[in-house]
Amino acid sequence: MDEYPEFDSVEPYGTVRSIADERAHRKRMCAIGYRIFAAQRWGQLGDGHVSARDPELTDHFWLLDWGVAFGAATVDRLVLVGPDGQVKDANGNLTGAVNTAGYNIHAPILAARPDAASAAHTHTQFGTPWSANVAPFRAMSQESCAFAFDQSLFDDEEVEVLSVDGGKRIAATIGESKLCILRNHGLLTVGRSVEAAVGWFVMAERVAEVHVKAPDGKAIGAAAARIAAATLAPESAGWRVFQWLQRSLVPDPTVVD
Protein backbone atom coordinates (compact mmCIF):
# COMPACT_ATOMS: atom_id res chain seq x y z
CA MET A 1 0.00 0.00 0.00
CA ASP A 2 1.25 3.47 -0.89
CA GLU A 3 2.51 5.24 2.23
CA TYR A 4 0.88 8.46 0.96
CA PRO A 5 -2.38 7.49 -0.80
CA GLU A 6 -3.38 11.13 -1.30
CA PHE A 7 -0.66 11.39 -3.97
CA ASP A 8 -1.92 8.72 -6.34
CA SER A 9 0.14 9.89 -9.31
CA VAL A 10 3.40 10.23 -7.37
CA GLU A 11 6.02 7.51 -7.13
CA PRO A 12 6.27 6.40 -3.47
CA TYR A 13 8.89 7.92 -1.20
CA GLY A 14 12.17 6.03 -1.48
CA THR A 15 11.57 4.71 -5.00
CA VAL A 16 14.75 3.15 -6.42
CA ARG A 17 15.44 4.06 -10.04
CA SER A 18 18.07 3.40 -12.67
CA ILE A 19 20.80 6.03 -12.95
CA ALA A 20 19.22 7.52 -16.06
CA ASP A 21 15.77 7.61 -14.50
CA GLU A 22 17.12 9.04 -11.25
CA ARG A 23 18.93 11.80 -13.15
CA ALA A 24 15.75 12.66 -15.04
CA HIS A 25 13.74 12.62 -11.82
CA ARG A 26 16.14 14.83 -9.89
CA LYS A 27 16.32 17.35 -12.71
CA ARG A 28 12.55 17.47 -12.99
CA MET A 29 12.13 17.94 -9.25
CA CYS A 30 14.80 20.65 -9.30
CA ALA A 31 12.98 22.59 -12.03
CA ILE A 32 9.70 22.23 -10.15
CA GLY A 33 11.49 23.39 -6.99
CA TYR A 34 12.47 26.64 -8.71
CA ARG A 35 8.87 27.04 -9.85
CA ILE A 36 7.66 26.55 -6.29
CA PHE A 37 10.04 29.30 -5.16
CA ALA A 38 8.83 31.57 -7.97
CA ALA A 39 5.19 31.03 -7.00
CA GLN A 40 6.04 32.56 -3.62
CA ARG A 41 7.82 35.52 -5.26
CA TRP A 42 11.25 34.33 -4.23
CA GLY A 43 14.34 34.79 -6.37
CA GLN A 44 13.05 37.84 -8.22
CA LEU A 45 16.36 39.64 -7.60
CA GLY A 46 18.37 36.76 -9.04
CA ASP A 47 19.10 35.46 -5.55
CA GLY A 48 18.99 31.83 -4.61
CA HIS A 49 19.53 28.37 -6.00
CA VAL A 50 18.33 24.78 -5.79
CA SER A 51 20.84 22.04 -6.62
CA ALA A 52 20.43 18.43 -7.70
CA ARG A 53 23.43 16.13 -7.42
CA ASP A 54 24.00 14.04 -10.53
CA PRO A 55 23.53 10.37 -9.55
CA GLU A 56 26.38 9.17 -11.79
CA LEU A 57 28.85 12.06 -11.79
CA THR A 58 28.44 12.48 -8.07
CA ASP A 59 30.87 15.41 -7.81
CA HIS A 60 28.68 17.31 -10.33
CA PHE A 61 25.33 18.95 -9.70
CA TRP A 62 22.55 20.61 -11.67
CA LEU A 63 21.51 24.26 -11.21
CA LEU A 64 19.30 26.63 -13.17
CA ASP A 65 21.26 28.46 -15.87
CA TRP A 66 22.28 31.90 -14.66
CA GLY A 67 19.82 34.62 -15.68
CA VAL A 68 16.82 32.33 -16.18
CA ALA A 69 13.85 33.43 -14.08
CA PHE A 70 12.77 30.88 -11.50
CA GLY A 71 9.27 30.91 -12.98
CA ALA A 72 10.71 29.89 -16.36
CA ALA A 73 12.67 26.92 -15.02
CA THR A 74 12.58 23.80 -17.18
CA VAL A 75 14.63 20.63 -17.30
CA ASP A 76 16.39 21.86 -20.44
CA ARG A 77 17.43 25.10 -18.76
CA LEU A 78 19.37 23.36 -16.02
CA VAL A 79 23.14 23.22 -16.39
CA LEU A 80 25.63 20.69 -15.04
CA VAL A 81 28.27 22.21 -12.76
CA GLY A 82 31.53 20.33 -12.27
CA PRO A 83 33.81 20.36 -9.22
CA ASP A 84 36.00 22.93 -10.97
CA GLY A 85 33.04 25.25 -11.53
CA GLN A 86 32.82 24.56 -15.25
CA VAL A 87 29.27 24.68 -16.60
CA LYS A 88 28.04 22.16 -19.15
CA ASP A 89 24.78 21.40 -20.92
CA ALA A 90 23.01 18.04 -20.84
CA ASN A 91 25.33 16.77 -23.61
CA GLY A 92 28.51 17.71 -21.77
CA ASN A 93 29.28 20.78 -23.89
CA LEU A 94 30.62 23.87 -22.13
CA THR A 95 27.81 26.40 -22.02
CA GLY A 96 25.79 28.82 -19.93
CA ALA A 97 26.81 30.26 -16.60
CA VAL A 98 26.13 29.75 -12.95
CA ASN A 99 25.49 32.02 -10.02
CA THR A 100 28.98 32.32 -8.46
CA ALA A 101 27.65 32.07 -4.92
CA GLY A 102 25.58 29.08 -6.05
CA TYR A 103 28.73 27.19 -6.97
CA ASN A 104 30.69 28.39 -3.95
CA ILE A 105 27.94 27.26 -1.58
CA HIS A 106 26.61 24.07 -3.15
CA ALA A 107 29.86 22.45 -4.28
CA PRO A 108 31.41 22.28 -0.77
CA ILE A 109 28.13 21.27 0.88
CA LEU A 110 27.49 18.38 -1.51
CA ALA A 111 31.14 17.34 -1.27
CA ALA A 112 30.91 17.24 2.53
CA ARG A 113 27.54 15.50 2.56
CA PRO A 114 27.61 12.36 0.38
CA ASP A 115 24.18 11.48 1.77
CA ALA A 116 22.66 14.66 0.32
CA ALA A 117 21.15 14.99 -3.14
CA SER A 118 20.22 18.65 -2.90
CA ALA A 119 20.55 21.96 -1.11
CA ALA A 120 18.21 24.94 -1.34
CA HIS A 121 18.69 28.61 -0.52
CA THR A 122 17.16 31.95 -1.40
CA HIS A 123 16.45 35.26 0.31
CA THR A 124 13.01 35.41 1.86
CA GLN A 125 10.72 37.80 3.69
CA PHE A 126 11.20 36.19 7.09
CA GLY A 127 14.21 33.90 6.89
CA THR A 128 16.61 36.71 6.08
CA PRO A 129 15.48 39.12 8.82
CA TRP A 130 15.40 36.32 11.38
CA SER A 131 18.96 35.36 10.47
CA ALA A 132 20.11 38.84 11.54
CA ASN A 133 19.25 37.85 15.11
CA VAL A 134 21.94 35.15 14.96
CA ALA A 135 19.69 32.84 16.91
CA PRO A 136 18.39 29.33 16.25
CA PHE A 137 14.75 28.39 15.91
CA ARG A 138 12.86 27.52 19.08
CA ALA A 139 9.97 25.09 19.21
CA MET A 140 7.36 27.85 18.98
CA SER A 141 5.01 26.16 16.51
CA GLN A 142 4.21 22.70 15.28
CA GLU A 143 6.45 23.07 12.21
CA SER A 144 9.27 24.46 14.36
CA CYS A 145 9.63 21.03 15.94
CA ALA A 146 10.95 19.70 12.62
CA PHE A 147 14.08 21.84 13.10
CA ALA A 148 14.41 22.49 16.83
CA PHE A 149 16.67 19.46 17.28
CA ASP A 150 18.27 19.47 13.82
CA GLN A 151 19.69 22.88 12.89
CA SER A 152 22.93 24.83 12.72
CA LEU A 153 23.87 28.51 12.87
CA PHE A 154 26.52 30.05 10.60
CA ASP A 155 27.82 33.13 12.44
CA ASP A 156 29.94 34.69 9.70
CA GLU A 157 29.87 38.00 7.82
CA GLU A 158 30.67 36.62 4.35
CA VAL A 159 27.16 37.08 2.98
CA GLU A 160 28.40 37.28 -0.62
CA VAL A 161 30.20 33.92 -0.34
CA LEU A 162 32.77 34.98 -2.91
CA SER A 163 34.98 31.94 -2.43
CA VAL A 164 34.75 28.19 -2.11
CA ASP A 165 36.41 28.63 1.28
CA GLY A 166 33.29 30.46 2.42
CA GLY A 167 31.19 27.54 1.25
CA LYS A 168 33.48 25.13 3.08
CA ARG A 169 32.91 27.04 6.31
CA ILE A 170 29.18 26.81 5.76
CA ALA A 171 29.47 23.07 5.07
CA ALA A 172 31.49 22.56 8.25
CA THR A 173 28.86 24.44 10.24
CA ILE A 174 26.01 22.42 8.77
CA GLY A 175 27.55 19.11 9.69
CA GLU A 176 24.76 16.53 9.52
CA SER A 177 21.90 18.99 10.06
CA LYS A 178 19.16 19.71 7.53
CA LEU A 179 18.84 23.44 8.25
CA CYS A 180 21.45 26.16 8.50
CA ILE A 181 20.61 29.73 9.47
CA LEU A 182 23.15 31.93 7.70
CA ARG A 183 23.78 35.11 9.67
CA ASN A 184 22.44 38.25 7.88
CA HIS A 185 21.79 36.08 4.83
CA GLY A 186 18.90 33.69 5.32
CA LEU A 187 18.05 30.01 5.37
CA LEU A 188 19.65 27.01 3.72
CA THR A 189 18.36 23.44 3.76
CA VAL A 190 19.87 20.11 2.77
CA GLY A 191 17.99 16.96 1.78
CA ARG A 192 18.59 13.40 0.68
CA SER A 193 16.26 14.22 -2.19
CA VAL A 194 15.51 17.42 -4.07
CA GLU A 195 11.95 17.18 -2.82
CA ALA A 196 13.04 17.12 0.83
CA ALA A 197 15.48 20.04 0.46
CA VAL A 198 12.77 22.23 -1.13
CA GLY A 199 10.07 21.05 1.27
CA TRP A 200 12.29 21.76 4.27
CA PHE A 201 13.14 25.21 2.95
CA VAL A 202 9.52 26.28 2.56
CA MET A 203 8.66 24.88 5.98
CA ALA A 204 11.66 26.68 7.51
CA GLU A 205 10.47 29.96 6.03
CA ARG A 206 7.08 29.44 7.70
CA VAL A 207 8.91 28.83 10.97
CA ALA A 208 10.95 32.00 10.49
CA GLU A 209 7.70 33.93 10.05
CA VAL A 210 6.50 32.73 13.45
CA HIS A 211 9.79 33.81 15.03
CA VAL A 212 9.74 37.25 13.42
CA LYS A 213 6.12 37.90 14.33
CA ALA A 214 6.25 36.40 17.83
CA PRO A 215 9.90 36.80 18.91
CA ASP A 216 9.01 36.53 22.58
CA GLY A 217 6.48 33.75 22.16
CA LYS A 218 6.31 30.91 24.66
CA ALA A 219 8.10 27.82 23.39
CA ILE A 220 6.70 24.30 23.42
CA GLY A 221 8.21 22.15 26.15
CA ALA A 222 11.06 19.84 25.13
CA ALA A 223 9.10 16.64 25.73
CA ALA A 224 6.10 17.75 23.67
CA ALA A 225 8.40 19.14 20.97
CA ARG A 226 10.20 15.81 20.62
CA ILE A 227 6.88 14.02 20.22
CA ALA A 228 5.98 16.39 17.37
CA ALA A 229 9.48 16.04 15.90
CA ALA A 230 9.04 12.29 15.65
CA THR A 231 6.39 12.95 12.98
CA LEU A 232 7.70 16.16 11.42
CA ALA A 233 11.48 15.73 11.41
CA PRO A 234 12.01 12.57 9.28
CA GLU A 235 13.25 13.01 5.72
CA SER A 236 9.97 11.62 4.38
CA ALA A 237 8.13 14.55 5.97
CA GLY A 238 10.12 17.04 3.89
CA TRP A 239 9.39 14.97 0.79
CA ARG A 240 5.70 15.01 1.61
CA VAL A 241 5.64 18.81 2.05
CA PHE A 242 7.07 19.09 -1.47
CA GLN A 243 4.18 17.02 -2.84
CA TRP A 244 1.66 19.40 -1.30
CA LEU A 245 3.57 22.43 -2.58
CA GLN A 246 3.86 21.07 -6.10
CA ARG A 247 0.19 20.15 -6.21
CA SER A 248 -0.85 23.61 -4.97
CA LEU A 249 1.69 25.87 -6.69
CA VAL A 250 2.70 23.97 -9.83
CA PRO A 251 -0.52 22.07 -10.62
CA ASP A 252 0.69 21.21 -14.13
CA PRO A 253 4.19 19.83 -13.58
CA THR A 254 4.61 19.19 -17.32
CA VAL A 255 5.50 22.90 -17.70
CA VAL A 256 9.08 21.98 -16.79
CA ASP A 257 9.41 19.20 -19.42
Q: Could you tell me the CATH number of the domain that includes residue 211? A: 3.40.225.10
The pLDDT value recorded for residue 96 is: 72
Residues of the chain with pLDDT under 50: 1-2
> Is residue 13, in this structure, part of any structural domain at all?
no
Tell me whether residue 2 is in a domain: no
Residue 209 in any domain: the answer is yes
What's the pLDDT score for residue 170?
97
Residue 11 lies in a domain: no
Domain that includes residue 49, residue range: 19-250
Q: What is the pTM of this model?
A: 0.95
Q: What is the pLDDT of residue 7?
A: 59
Q: What angle do CA 227, 186, 122 make, to 5 degrees?
A: 105
Is residue 174 a part of any domain in this protein?
yes
Per-residue confidence (pLDDT) for residue 122, from 0 to 100: 97
What confidence score (pLDDT) does residue 8 get? 59
Domain presence at residue 10: no
In a domain, 256, yes or no: no
- Residue 24 within any structural domain of the chain: yes
Domain count, the chain: 1
pLDDT at position 2 is 46
Q: What is the pLDDT of residue 152?
A: 98
Euclidean distance between CA atoms 61 and 118, whole angstroms: 9
